[in-house]
Structure 1
Amino acid sequence: MIQNSFIPFGFQYYRSPTPFRDQWEKDLSNIAGQGFNCVKYWVQWRASVSKEGIYQFDDIQELMDIAQQNGLKVILNVIFDVAPAWFYKKHPDSKMITADGSVLEPRAINCRQIGGAPGPCYHHAAAATEKAKFLVETVKTFKDHPALWVWDLWNEPELTTGIKRKLSFDNQVCYCEHSVLAFQEWLKNKYITLVALNESWQRTYGSWEEVEAPRGQGVFNDLVDWRLFMSGTLTVELRSRVDTVKSLDLLHPVMAHTVPAPIFNMITAGSDDFKLAEPCDLTGNSLGSSAWSADLLISAAKGKPIINSEIHALPGNTAMKPRQPELREMKRHILPPLARGITGYLFWQYRPEVLGQEAPAWGSVYLDGSPTPWYKDMAQLNKLVQDNKQELLQAKRRGDGIAILFSPQNQIANFAAHDHLDTYNDSLQGVHKLLHDLNYKVEFLHESDVTEKTLDQYRCLWMPNPLYLNRKLCNLLRKWVEKGGILISECSFGALQAENGCHSYTVPGYGFDEVFGVRETWIHSAENLDHSYHQVAFESRTAIPLLNVMKHSKEGDAAADDKAHGSYYKSDIALQSHVKVLAEFAEDNMPVLTAAAYGNGRAVWFGTLLAAAYWQDGHTGTLQLVRDLLQQELKLQPNVQVSGGVRADLSEWEVEEDRGAFLYVHNEGNTLAEAKVTLPANYTSAEPWFDDGNAKIQPINPFEPSTTQLSIRVEAGDVQVFRLS
């Protein structure tokens, strides 16, 4: 039993040594008295084991007892990245080493005020032993406490706790002898023979001991392996923690909560949300309030329960004081993720921070513990959630059959090529934004999860900037398209080959020139084009003018701008006769968007990074181009259709014999929206959650009882929720 009828809604409360002991009883009583039901405590290695072999949990024990007295459930967040001072003194070789040779000495940072960050190298044997001892003692102490709800075994997994998070080759870890030896063993398991490794990396190693950990911008396959190894190290570490807990406690579920890409990347952070969700019973997120992070987390969870573990509503520090949030902002932290099926909310944090550089920010109450207006807004939102919890826990959204490929390997290869991740991240987030703005349910498919079975769940797969591919994946994609799938790809498909790290002689690679019906004859970097296009940020982000030659879909504006934007690259292509041209480069009428039949499916080609351009400038013509492509050309309509500039999500439920739905309507713009929402079911009433919104239901067509249309008025920046029946 993980959630059953429980939706956690509360606060991160304790990170030793604050809040101080004299505040605990009053605070926890107030939290419960306002209707909240959950708190989170940190159990920190350095705080609980300040002397070797002596485990002290008096503070946590007292806090657990107070929570139980007040009917609060507790998430125990076990923190390992603050190693005790005695451990470093005893094991100086446990410190991580960066690519430039810097040793990460233990330190206090703004979010680890007791010191000891970033913790020891993950490949240090003695560190693994001591961390396991700490976890065992923690679990033995609290596994039978009636207030315990969940073990949270990693707070924002990454390699250096933010100390070397900034993206650069020099900030990679770890280059100590323990990690290099572990990497060599990992390569043995992957390649089996040294000959196979040399063929992949294009090297001449004579023994496994000669293999070096990559450091800079050289070739591709060595860096891909190196960063996949370090990312896998985090997954192995988490799985070990999960196994330790489950060997002692089978009653309470385990989780970790992440920070999604692109904030945490595969190069310096090593965090892969999909892999980290696998060993857990439920999963969480520190930045789940945005549509991007919520959709990514839901895809990574694969049906497991999800909570927003740290809602960052009042960020700030000693120099930059937090802004006071209004109700609409608090609604945006809760309702968009709730619309997607996230059913758990903890704000970071209850009291404002008083220790360190984060003070006096992050508080849901004032410094003296008295209630703030936003604390009262939180209580109102919690009451609405709890009053509808049975239905919310049953509610599901229908899929639209469209997925975005999420590829850690491609991310790493992009960094190796560019020394930045803008091309990959802009493209990935841009595809999400395009689909989100067109009201599709956005799903991500991790490259390692691509099989015939998973592909068959989707009608369409969009591949953002697919520079680095492999033959196995491409063979699966070809068969899927032949059977009827719709593949959408941006330029440079398979330009780099994972088998040997070399550039493909023909692009699209792996024979996909036959699938797309196009072949790149040249690809121009935007900064090399002889035109003064609009500079968005720096030279390679030049907005390249495109011309939409399709007829506009009925959902679009008949007077919409036919101009759209590409970015980064312009492809010259040779075109097969059966290929349909849907858009052209404005400067020379070279085809930029094409569609071709292949078997029973379709293959769509963009000769530029169109999604990256939309991420950068949100051009309405680019959105219109994709609307026309998906809805007019490919006949991929979203289940919930909207007009009037809003986002609408329908979550349907059935509890016993009662059926209904929740409709969430989000006006993400800065002006009042008068919107129409068309639903794929028949509803006759709409009860609003909030007094400041209204909806009028009207049938579209009396001969189409399976559809309903609502007229809804939503203020700028607001989210409205309606209970439909």
Structure 2
Amino acid sequence: MSRPARPRFPYGSVYYRRSNPPEKDWERDYAQAASDGWTVFRHWTLWSAVNTAPGVWDWSLYDRQLDLAAKHGLLTVVQEKLTSAPIWAFEKYPEARLVHRGGRADEPQMSGSCSSGGFPGLSLNHEGARALAGEFLTRLAERYKDHPGLGWYDIVNEAKFPQNQWGKQGDYDFSEPTQAAFRVWLKAKYGSLDALAEAWCQFGYTDWDQVRAPMALAFYTQSLDWLRFRVDNIIEQMRWRAETLRAADPHTPITSHGQAQALQTLSIAGSHDWRSAETVDSYGFTYVQSRHGVEPWMHMHAVDLTRSASRGKPFWHAEHQGGPVWMRDFQMGRPRDDGRLRHPEDIRLSNLMSMAGGARGIMFPRMRPLLSGPLFGTLGPYGNDGRPTNRSAMASEMARWVKEVERTGLWDAMPVRGELGILVVEESQHQALAMHSSPDFYAKSARGAYRGFHEAGYQPDFIVPDQIDDHRTVYLPFPATLPVALRQRLADWVAEGGTLISEGFPGYFTEEGWVTPDETAAWLEALFGVRQTYEEFFADISDDVSFRWKDETIRGGLYTQAFEARGAELLAEYTAEAGPYAKGLAALASHAHGKGRTLLCGTHPGYGAYHKGGSPFFANAAALAGLSPRYDLPAPCFARLCESSAQRFVWLVNPSRGAVEVSLEIAGSGAVVRGDATVGGGLIQARLGGRDATIVRLHNV
């Protein structure tokens, strides 16, 4: 039997997570999925379920899944699950168990996401455990590499560490193998024990074996090194998984997906989407409204972050909510329609939003819900019994539609570069976690900046430092900790014509956690044209910080910095709400630097916008940078322009439940691909259906 071609736009779901769904339904479910236009299933291939004893390998249940896929014309995404280790392996290598910050070594435990045991697996820093895990990966690839039902391998579900553990992710892993790996990392960085002792201000080491990870985080070099090591270590393990699979099967593409959570969990769980995407052939993201809520900007920030992190590689919405989610801590008290229930039109809208942002594949976390565990009855578009529902009917409608429009070239066209970039700086998030015991201040500042620009009609791209040259305008959120080299990089970029919009205290700390008053003062004066005259680090009581700009009140928060001019133009002052000491002091400064310009705000307008939205700061800042939105649509509607070498498409998305009439100018003419619109005379006049999108192919390429 020959293998079908990989679909241009895969559409499907996770299906088998042993021991769900029941084996008696498999044949019927595959036939249903194929009939409904689905093209892929993904399975959690549990190491524990296959390697049931030393030297014993039972692939029979997974064999049947791939055989059924081949029979019904579907392809399989084989998800390796090393995070579910066999019970016997826990006993063979007890020293490889993950160790909690409090000293407890984790026993094998159940996963709420698949109702099977063996989680969170073993430390791959342990040589013996890695050898066992490597054998599983090699055997998996050798078994299925020629199977007609195989489409892709998927590594490291949600690209985070650890998974399904008892404690918080940031509390792991303090096992001896990981401590040893940390020491190797430190030797490479510092070279000698004396240099390490000097950098850490930890004196009296006589042997490298005395060096250990900090059991309590604090804003010191030791903790910052530990956070950086954890990210490096997690990425190295992702790369090892991919290389092990490729060695056994060099022809089948490898994918992975994160949670589009680099702004929140990079420091806690190593969720560095840019570096994770480098290890694989395609990338993706989990995004479910039950966790994040239903606001469109929040969804689109996840899509745009993943697109940027993928750096031109195909990316997919890997876990897309298809059904209700009942009782999770993060939902408590929220209304039913804030992501807790899913209506058919909700599925259509979130499909279309991800597609507009460039996702070229959609998968649900389940075809049908689990029948056991805390996530029973959730997330799948089909019923508990696998029968169709009105939600699965909508998913089927979308699955068929993605095939119908393939001939138009729609899926070859990707979003054009955004008008500006929001700069993601790993060290800034490490500071938030180490200093404030949470990354929330960083995450909310960065997400709020996205919200502000999105609501003003822009497409902000999230970027990392080596992507700065892709944009002429960059926004820098929560930037108190910046590497010294990045300070110079930004100054050079502005001098060459860039516009840098920065929140307060840029570069106040070095990446090692030190305040360098003289160097920072010189940098502020040269790049921003100011000298600091006032500072407050009262993050706990600063939610009401505000200033006036262009006769409008701008909310900030967290820290408060004020300046006097050293060549800059002072644009705004803090109001009384900023506190009696900051009132009347300069809060905003604009400065010409070389061929470019900077705008420095002494507080964090991103943080203010995250909580309340509607901030005028971002439209004003964009105007100062000389930007204007590509298309002007009434809120909450938004547009995305996508192009390939041969085609251009404009997506007009309406997240509201009622229809919206819009009219916008275009250059040239066009033809409607989806929706109700007329195109002519340089205009698109469209009636955007509720929770739907209109797509027009432009004829001016």
TM-score, reference length from structure 2: 0.90
Residues 479-527 of structure 1: CA distance to partner in whole angstroms, max 9, x if unpaired? Answer: 11111111111111111112x5311215855623321011222212457
Aligned partners of 2:657, 2:10: CA distance in 1, in Å?
Answer: 32
Q: Does 1:128 align with 2:102?
A: no
Identical residues among aligned pairs (%): 25
Aligned partners of 2:35, 2:521: CA distance in 1, in Å?
Answer: 62
Equivalent residue number for residue 253 of structure 1: 253
Aligned partners of 2:57, 2:341: CA distance in 1, in Å?
Answer: 40
Amino acid at match of 1:710: I
Aligned partners of 1:219, 1:607: CA distance in 2, in Å?
Answer: 22
SS of the residue corresponding to residue 152 of structure 2 reads strand
Amino acid at match of 1:635: G
> 1:201, 1:501 within 8 Å by CA — same for their partners in 2?
no
Equivalent residue number for residue 570 of structure 1: 560
Alignment of 1:636-647 (within 5 A): 636-643=627-634, 645-647=636-638
Amino acid at match of 2:303: A
> 1:644, 1:673 within 8 Å by CA — same for their partners in 2?
no
Aligned partners of 1:356, 1:203: CA distance in 2, in Å?
Answer: 47
Post-superposition offset of 1:460: 1.2
Alignment of 1:295-306 (within 5 A): 295-306=304-315
Equivalent residue number for residue 215 of structure 1: 215
SS of the residue corresponding to residue 51 of structure 1 reads coil
SS of the residue corresponding to residue 363 of structure 1 reads coil
In structure 2, do the counterparts of structure 1 residues 513 and 207 end up closer, same or farther at CA, with 3 Å as the change threshold?
Answer: farther
Equivalent residue number for residue 683 of structure 1: 669
Post-superposition offset of 1:2: 13
In structure 2, do the counterparts of structure 1 residues 599 and 150 end up closer, same or farther at CA, with 3 Å as the change threshold?
Answer: same
Residues 382-441 of structure 1: CA distance to partner in whole angstroms, max 9, x if unpaired? Answer: 122111224123213222342111122211111111112221011111111122222323
Equivalent residue number for residue 596 of structure 1: 591
Q: Does 1:232 align with 2:232?
A: yes
> 1:507, 1:519 within 8 Å by CA — same for their partners in 2?
no
Q: Does 1:626 align with 2:626?
A: no
Amino acid at match of 1:442: P
Q: Does 1:720 align with 2:694?
A: yes
Instruction: Name which of 296, 301, 317 aligns with 1:308.
Output: 317
Equivalent residue number for residue 89 of structure 1: 91
Alignment of 1:494-505 (within 5 A): 494-498=507-511, 500-505=512-517
Q: Does 1:457 align with 2:474?
A: no
Residues 584-640 of structure 1: CA distance to partner in whole angstroms, max 9, x if unpaired? Answer: 22233322222100111101101101111000111x3x2x23212212x22122333
Equivalent residue number for residue 301 of structure 2: 292
> 2:549, 2:572 within 8 Å by CA — same for their partners in 1?
yes
> 2:605, 2:617 within 8 Å by CA — same for their partners in 1?
no
In structure 2, do the counterparts of structure 1 residues 396 and 108 end up closer, same or farther at CA, with 3 Å as the change threshold?
Answer: closer
Aligned partners of 1:607, 1:55: CA distance in 2, in Å?
Answer: 61
SS of the residue corresponding to residue 633 of structure 2 reads strand
In structure 2, do the counterparts of structure 1 residues 127 and 12 end up closer, same or farther at CA, with 3 Å as the change threshold?
Answer: same
Farther-moved stretch of structure 1 (670-679 vs 104-113)? 670-679
Residues 277-324 of structure 1: CA distance to partner in whole angstroms, max 9, x if unpaired? Answer: 111011121118811111111111101111112112324247999955
> 1:2, 1:281 within 8 Å by CA — same for their partners in 2?
no
Equivalent residue number for residue 444 of structure 2: 426
Equivalent residue number for residue 677 of structure 2: 695
Aligned partners of 1:480, 1:298: CA distance in 2, in Å?
Answer: 23
Aligned partners of 1:369, 1:5: CA distance in 2, in Å?
Answer: 24
SS of the residue corresponding to residue 183 of structure 1 reads helix
Farther-moved stretch of structure 1 (455-464 vs 261-270)? 261-270
Equivalent residue number for residue 159 of structure 1: 161
Equivalent residue number for residue 575 of structure 2: 586
Equivalent residue number for residue 343 of structure 1: 360
> 1:647, 1:667 within 8 Å by CA — same for their partners in 2?
yes
Aligned partners of 2:662, 2:368: CA distance in 1, in Å?
Answer: 39
Aligned partners of 1:207, 1:460: CA distance in 2, in Å?
Answer: 49
Q: Does 1:179 align with 2:166?
A: no
In structure 2, do the counterparts of structure 1 residues 615 and 68 end up closer, same or farther at CA, with 3 Å as the change threshold?
Answer: same
Post-superposition offset of 1:4: 7.1
- Structure 1 runs of 4+ aligned residues shifted over 6 Å read 1-4, 318-322
In structure 2, do the counterparts of structure 1 residues 402 and 92 end up closer, same or farther at CA, with 3 Å as the change threshold?
Answer: same
> 1:200, 1:501 within 8 Å by CA — same for their partners in 2?
no
In structure 2, do the counterparts of structure 1 residues 200 and 671 end up closer, same or farther at CA, with 3 Å as the change threshold?
Answer: farther
Residues 618-667 of structure 1: CA distance to partner in whole angstroms, max 9, x if unpaired? Answer: 1x3x2x23212212x22122333434542111223455xxx4x3322223
> 2:4, 2:75 within 8 Å by CA — same for their partners in 1?
no
Aligned partners of 1:94, 1:324: CA distance in 2, in Å?
Answer: 41
SS of the residue corresponding to residue 77 of structure 1 reads strand
Q: Does 1:663 align with 2:650?
A: yes
In structure 2, do the counterparts of structure 1 residues 595 and 497 end up closer, same or farther at CA, with 3 Å as the change threshold?
Answer: same
Equivalent residue number for residue 280 of structure 2: 280
Equivalent residue number for residue 105 of structure 1: 107
Instruction: Name which of 435, 442, 452 aligns with 1:417.
Output: 435
In structure 2, do the counterparts of structure 1 residues 378 and 673 end up closer, same or farther at CA, with 3 Å as the change threshold?
Answer: same
Instruction: Name which of 650, 662, 667 aligns with 2:641.
Output: 650
Q: How many residues align?
A: 672
Instruction: Name which of 373, 377, 388 aligns with 2:390.
Output: 373
Q: Which runs of 5+ in 1 are unaligned?
A: 528-538, 550-560, 700-707
Q: Which runs of 5+ in 2 are unaligned?
A: 290-298, 577-582
> 2:108, 2:118 within 8 Å by CA — same for their partners in 1?
yes
Farther-moved stretch of structure 1 (220-229 vs 664-673)? 664-673
Aligned partners of 1:352, 1:180: CA distance in 2, in Å?
Answer: 39
> 1:506, 1:519 within 8 Å by CA — same for their partners in 2?
no
> 1:99, 1:173 within 8 Å by CA — same for their partners in 2?
yes
Instruction: Name which of 601, 604, 607 aligns with 1:609.
Output: 604
Amino acid at match of 2:541: S
Residues 642-693 of structure 1: CA distance to partner in whole angstroms, max 9, x if unpaired? Answer: 34542111223455xxx4x3322223457654434344x32244x2524xxx
Aligned partners of 1:501, 1:264: CA distance in 2, in Å?
Answer: 20
Aligned partners of 1:696, 1:201: CA distance in 2, in Å?
Answer: 66
> 2:4, 2:73 within 8 Å by CA — same for their partners in 1?
no
SS of the residue corresponding to residue 597 of structure 1 reads strand
SS of the residue corresponding to residue 662 of structure 1 reads strand
Residues 17-75 of structure 1: CA distance to partner in whole angstroms, max 9, x if unpaired? Answer: 22122111111011111111111112110000111111111111111111111111111
Q: Does 1:406 align with 2:424?
A: yes
In structure 2, do the counterparts of structure 1 residues 324 and 644 end up closer, same or farther at CA, with 3 Å as the change threshold?
Answer: closer
Question: Aligned Cα RMSD in Å?
Answer: 2.5
Aligned partners of 2:263, 2:419: CA distance in 1, in Å?
Answer: 27
Aligned partners of 2:627, 2:327: CA distance in 1, in Å?
Answer: 50
Post-superposition offset of 1:544: 1.9
Instruction: Name which of 499, 511, 522 aligns with 2:534.
Output: 522
In structure 2, do the counterparts of structure 1 residues 227 and 164 end up closer, same or farther at CA, with 3 Å as the change threshold?
Answer: farther
SS of the residue corresponding to residue 594 of structure 1 reads strand
Amino acid at match of 1:568: L
Aligned partners of 1:373, 1:251: CA distance in 2, in Å?
Answer: 39
> 2:444, 2:610 within 8 Å by CA — same for their partners in 1?
yes
The structure richer in helix per residue is 2
> 1:400, 1:639 within 8 Å by CA — same for their partners in 2?
no
